Amino acid sequence: MKRLLIAGGGTGGHLYPGVAVAMEAQKEGFEVLFIGTEKGIEARVLQREGFQLRTIKAGRLKGMGMAEKIRTLASIPGGIFQAAGIISKFSPQAVIGVGGYASFPAVAAAKLAGIPVVIQEQNAYPGLTNRVLGRIADAVAIGFEEAAGFFPKGRSVFTGNPIRGGMLAADRGAALDTWGLKPGMFTVLVFGGSGGAHRINKGMTDALAVLAGLEDSIQFIHQTGEKDLKMVEDAYAGSGFTAKVSPFIYDMAGAYACADLVVCRSGALTLAELTALGKPALLVPYPHAANNHQEANARALEKSGAAKVIVDGEATGERLAAEIKGLMGDNDALTGMSGRCLALGKPGAAGAVLQLVKSLMKG
């Protein structure tokens, strides 16, 4: 039996590319195991996706106070020891690190055990963990060509960012029916990552008043995160617009299938999905992302004419409403953005990453 271990997570942006590769690996007869933490999104998502998870102790360094950094650094040897035990028992032929808290201890343990390691870097500006691990990994699968310069020469391979195959298979008519939405209306999908985004939530709820009079023309799917759920629900309830509001959307394939326009953050996974599906988008980069990597991601799409970028501080109700109005009335612009999006897409990225892994496997 071929066995593959995937390490990391914490956020959907790190986890879901690993899930996409895991799905491809299962098709080829691999047994797949994930290593993560109890606090990350992997603890609630992987079982739903049908994968096994083993947890270790790991914490973050970026953006934390000195006391928390010291605790995290002190926990690294224990995390490596825990990961080494899991690896010894599972005996994988290869390990993929996808970034996030658990990635460093697991990749370090794999290298100590002489197991081939591939790092999957999602962003145009790589995170700290992957920049470090990329120097000891056997190969780095990059989602943006701009990331190559951060890794040793000849170590990186441009694969694009993996997305789950089901994303490409959803039918718009069936999805609209499932969501209880009308087929003849302009549909806007709004989300801010797995935890939501207050700026986007507030901007969109403020935009409803500016969009007044278009209640029979526009409908919304809005993922809020937990904190803003009631605020957003109340805003739509009092607006007259049809909206499906949820703290977290598990059926993102269906949500994307419904959408004519997407308003969202610009994490690497989101952009991989948008480009594979050809979805026009208003991108509002999270301004506090490490090294401002979300804006670097978004500008790469904007440069190609595949999306519009609105910096966080300018994502007001007036600006969002103006952009939505302008695009819903300009089919040529939407079609052009969609085509340029598709040209950037890498729908076969999961398979490309798996092929890279297989090329390094021993036995």
> Over 80: is that where the pLDDT of 194 sits?
no
pLDDT of residue 71: 60
**pLDDT-derived band of residue 58, with 50, 70 and 90 as boundaries?**
low
Residue 156, both tokens:
């990186």
**pLDDT-derived band of residue 144, with 50, 70 and 90 as boundaries?**
confident
Residue whose tokens read 């996808």? 98
pTM equals 0.81
Residue 316, both tokens:
């007001």
Mean pLDDT of 140-166: 92
pLDDT of residue 235: 97
pLDDT of residue 181: 97
Which architecture does CATH list for 2-162+348-360? 3-Layer(aba) Sandwich (3.40)
pLDDT of residue 172: 95
pLDDT of residue 75: 57
Q: Higher pLDDT residue, 63 or 90?
A: 90
pLDDT of residue 63: 55
Inter-residue contact 270 to 193 (CB < 8 Å): yes
**pLDDT-derived band of residue 65, with 50, 70 and 90 as boundaries?**
low
CA 283 to chain centre: 14
Q: Residues 166-344: name the CATH superfamily.
A: Glycogen Phosphorylase B; (3.40.50.2000)
For the chain, percent of residues with pLDDT exceeding 70: 94
Mean pLDDT of 338-360: 95
Let me know how many helices (H) and strands (E) the chain has, helices first.
14, 13
Q: Higher pLDDT residue, 5 or 292?
A: 5
Average pLDDT along the chain: 91
Residue 359 phi, psi (nearest 5): -70, -20
> Over 80: is that where the pLDDT of 252 sits?
yes
pLDDT tens digit string along 203-249? 999 999 999 999 999 999 999 999 999 999 999 999 999 999 999 99
β-strand partners of 117: 95
Inter-residue contact 285 to 312 (CB < 8 Å): yes
Inter-residue contact 354 to 28 (CB < 8 Å): yes
**pLDDT-derived band of residue 62, with 50, 70 and 90 as boundaries?**
low
Mean pLDDT of 137-141: 97
> Over 60: is that where the pLDDT of 352 sits?
yes
For the chain, percent of residues with pLDDT exceeding 90: 72
pLDDT of residue 70: 55
Inter-residue contact 76 to 104 (CB < 8 Å): yes
Least confident range of 72-86, 163-177, 198-212, 272-286: 72-86
> Over 90: is that where the pLDDT of 9 sits?
no
Q: Higher pLDDT residue, 268 or 70?
A: 268
Question: How far apart (Å, rounded) are the C-alpha atoms in residues 278 and 286?
Answer: 22
> Over 90: is that where the pLDDT of 44 sits?
no
Same fold, 2-162+348-360 and 166-344: yes
Q: Enumerate the domain spans of the chain.
A: 2-162+348-360, 166-344
